[in-house]
Amino acid sequence: EVQLVQSGAELKKPGESLKISCKGSGYNFTNYWIGWVRQMPGKGLEWMGIIYPGDSDTRYSPSFQGQVTFSVDRSISTAYLQWRSLKASDTAMFYCARPLTINAFDIWGQGTLVTVSS
Amino acid sequence: EIVLTQSPGTLSLSPGDRATLSCRASQNISSSFVVWYQQKPGQAPRLLIYGASNRATGIPDRFSGSGSGTDFTLTISRLEPEDFAVYYCQPGFTFGPGTKVDIK
């Protein structure tokens, strides 16, 4: 079964760093892009960007460029989303997803809830 | 930058009704890139339609997509209880604001 499994919920303080993960299984991880999507509490979906695990080619949405970093570890079929210094406004659910076509994502992780509060 | 609108913001209907959801872009979009998702509370989005009119695997045929240029439509022919949810269009990578379909 093709699936993406994300790391568990996080409670962090402003200024702290964080790296959440998305582990792919059931398919060749290096052959498919992985996208990241933010959903703030009670709000809609926001496209953050994508990374190609095969060569780490990365495209960020302008809204998230410089705010987060995508990375992969091909040896363990895992993609990462990282923050250097969290803000309260980073509180959200974050999803990773794998595309069926260039922008149609049919496989989704279960989401990682990140809460940033002092 | 493409501006997306989805209308209506909320659609209040009864089971068995037909639902027509609109997605409009501020400039022409290739139909190849128009995608629709369904999201229920506490769940990840679910792919419904890609390429404007192709149903994803396992999606019932009561869901259909159409449109071209700047105007795209998701139609649910007869609402089932499990269809009450939020629907997002995604022409390209940016998501629309969503339409909530709730029970009248």
Taking chain B (104 residues) in runs of 10, the rounded mean pLDDT of each run is 92 97 95 96 98 97 97 98 97 94 95
CA nearest B86: which of B16, B1, B11? B11
How far off is chain A from B41, nearest CA to CA, in Å? 10
Write out chain A residues lying below 8 Å of B86, CB-based. 44
Per-residue pLDDT of B74-89, as tens digits, reads 999 999 999 999 999 9
Amino acid of residue B78 = R
Whether residues A44 and B95 touch (CB distance < 8 A) is answered with yes
Is B57 an 8 Å CB contact of chain A? yes
Distance, CA of A5 to chain centre: 11
Q: Which residues of chain A have pLDDT under 50?
A: none
- Res B2: pLDDT: 85
- Res B1: pLDDT: 79
Is B69 an 8 Å CB contact of chain A? no
Whether residues B47 and A104 touch (CB distance < 8 A) is answered with yes
Whether residues B93 and A109 touch (CB distance < 8 A) is answered with no
- Res A102: pLDDT: 86
Write out chain B residues lying below 8 Å of A33, CB-based. none
- Kindly give the pairing relationship between strand B54-55 and strand B63-68: unpaired
The structure tokens 């582990």 sit at A23
Write out chain A residues lying below 8 Å of B32, CB-based. 101
Chain B, window 12-51: residues with a beta carbon less than 8 angstroms from a chain A beta carbon: 32-33, 35, 37, 39, 44-47, 50-51
Structural contact between residues B55 and B48, judged by C-beta atoms closer than 8 angstroms: yes
- Res A94: pLDDT: 98
CA nearest B82: which of B39, B21, B35, B20? B39
**What length does chain A have?**
118
